A and B are shown apart, each in its own frame.
Chain A
Amino acid sequence: MRNRSSRGRVLLAATAAALLVPVGFVGQAHADSHQPVTGKQSSTRSGTRIVLGEPEKPKTVKPEAAGAEAVDCAEGTTVHDRTSSCSNYRIPVQFLVDGEPAGSAVLHSKATAQLDTRDRYQWKQRVELKLTDPTTPSAAEVSATVKYQTGRATASTAPTRILIPYVTQTFDFTLSSPGRDLVNDNIVPYGDFSAPGFDDGSAYLGDIFRPRCDSTPRITPAVTGGCVYPDVPGLWQIDVTDWRVDSVGWHVLWAQKNLAHPWGVKGTRYPLHRTFDQSLIADNRRTACGPDVPRPPRPGLACDEYPFAQSYEGAGRNPDYSCEFLNGRDNSREGSYRKASLNGQRVLENDPFYVEVINIPATLTPQKLDQLRGPVGCGVES
């Protein structure tokens, strides 16, 4: 006769991406993300328990073109850009009675985050759970409490919900990175699951993502700071159809195609790395546009260098650079717009970023670009 008072165990095993090993977690941390984060061990092994197997390993996909919209992800995928993240798991669920299979279901878990580049003290994260394909009435009695494991950040709470089959339950959270220090955090959602007659268990419900939060002055309003995923390089786009900066855009395009290395070209191994080091910036500028370079042939022109002086790849440390004389107003405006854009993306000291020239005419040929821009070294008028 079956012992109806036996306490089973709700075990959830969910995979975090293999790359995302948790570090500095509050509570128990396991290098193997298939293990439950916290949970009570059943004092008996009656075998009456819910077992959640490993989810299909999510496929990492690239985000769509950079834009203001947060990333989204289909089931079985994970994606993030500099300010948002998404992982979407499909977790098999099995119900065991006295160790024998007595039913199954599927738990779908989608976890998203939208960081705020201008406020480290509140950003939004969400977990959506849906139980489907139940083959036993026990599946209709499972309830979930979702929380976050973090290093330093705090998370609001969400009420426990019963996972009614085929109904998506949404758990919304506000997270905060306290203090004013620069903090590299590790954040992952997990769930505590319970059902009548079963012990509680818990497991990860999404990938671990690592936001960086800081309050660096002069980047965004100092009082609120902001957060980004720093493993995604920043991106500065120069539009050659924008009259305010087109001269600089043509120069950068020529340099990216004609220098020995494709400095700053998106997706290559040659991102630029931002610097605020005053002496390095001055040295880069002086090397590219200093006394060894002829003076502009007429008023209104300014010496422009690429890679930018405000990068570690500037001329002071890198002989593979280009400079030319171009419209002084374009040069000044581009520098100001670039500074604002990189600040808005929280590209800090030594952070990588790419430079993309956009809206290039389809009819532009290499020969035509060569005609537009001269050889390395200043002297060819824009």
Chain B
Amino acid sequence: MVGLVRQTSSQVHIDASTVDLLGADLFTDYQPEEWVGGLVAAAPSGDAVRIVCGQEIAGIHVIAQLWDGRPPMGATDAEAWQDIAEVSVDWRSPLLDFGTTGDGEDQAQQLVMPGPGTYRIRVSARNRDDGDPREDGDPTEAVRIQVWQAPVEEECVIKQSSRTAHLWTDQ
């Protein structure tokens, strides 16, 4: 039975529209031309995944989970999140940092990885359409990152319902 190995969460400040999942060197050159499901893109060179948000400058609530297999996707999940998409990525670094603008020292903004290999990353996002910028009391944009080791698969869009996602996928 598939289980959750570890989880961490943190409020992440973004200043350029993305939450960045990076390796220990805290850096990527990757600039996606397209976003899977209007939500996520994985760097072909590995060790980087970028998640586009509904706001340019904001505090985003991020949950990061490491699973030992594909996490279940139930009806509750589908209802709780506006957009859900999956990508595969090579990951060599011992950690996955999602702090984006932090100093790289906050362990609450890092997920320890089990080792180098190919990973599947499922990104779920909600409250993407509630304005930019937002006032106190407005919904906080949130992202859940679920990570597990798995062979490479085609990227897939599980759910796409937000206006923000359509902004990025409609041409």
Contacts and interface: CB of A to CB of B under 8 A. Distances in A.
Contacts of A276: 15, 101
Contacts of B152: none
A234 to B, nearest CB: 16
Nearest to A275: B15
B167 A299 contact: yes
B135 A291 contact: yes
A282 B101 CA distance: 13
B57 A285 contact: yes
A336 B17 CA distance: 7
A161 interface: no
Interface stretch (A151-159, A169-177, A219-227, A374-382): A219-227
Interface stretch (B2-10, B21-29, B64-72): B21-29
B163 interface: yes
Interface string A288-318: 0111000100011011000001100000000
A329 B167 contact: yes
A135 interface: no
B26 A218 contact: yes
Contacts of B31: 336-337, 340
A27 interface: no
A134 interface: no
A88 to B, nearest CB: 35
Contacts of A302: 56, 132
A266 interface: no
Q: Which DSSP category, helix, strand, loop or mixed, fits chain B's interface?
A: loop
B13 A278 contact: yes
Nearest to B99: A218
Given A276-B15, A336-B16, A331 B25 contact: no
B133 A289 contact: yes
A222 B135 contact: no
B133 to A, nearest CB: 5
A286 interface: yes
A335 B16 contact: yes
B57 to A, nearest CB: 5
Interface string B67-111: 000000000000000000000000000000000110110000000
Given A285-B133, A286-B133, A329-B167, A339 B15 contact: yes
B168 A285 contact: no
Contacts, number: 72
Contacts of A223: 25
A16 B7 CA distance: 58
A329 B52 CA distance: 10
A291 to B, nearest CB: 6
Interface residues of A, number: 33
A219 to B, nearest CB: 8
B131 interface: yes
Contact of A222 (B18, B27, B167): B27
Contacts of A291: 135
Interface in A333-361: 335-340
Contacts of A331: 56
Interface string A57-87: 0000000000000000000000000000000
Given A218-B26, A221-B27, A332 B104 contact: no
Contacts of B17: 332, 335-336
A53 interface: no
Contact of A281 (B15, B27, B103, B131): B15
Given A218-B26, A285-B56, A340-B29, 16 more contacts: A218-B27, A218-B100, A218-B104, A222-B26, A222-B27, A222-B104, A281-B15, A289-B132, A295-B131, A303-B133, A328-B167, A329-B168, A335-B15, A335-B16, A336-B17, A339-B15
Which 5 pairs show the lowest CB-CB distances between chains A and B? A332-B17, A221-B25, A339-B16, A217-B104, A335-B16
Interface of A: 217-223, 276, 278, 281-282, 285-286, 289-291, 295, 299-300, 302-303, 309-310, 328-329, 331-332, 335-340
13 contacts: A219-B27, A221-B27, A222-B26, A281-B15, A282-B57, A289-B133, A291-B135, A299-B163, A302-B132, A303-B132, A336-B18, A336-B31, A337-B31
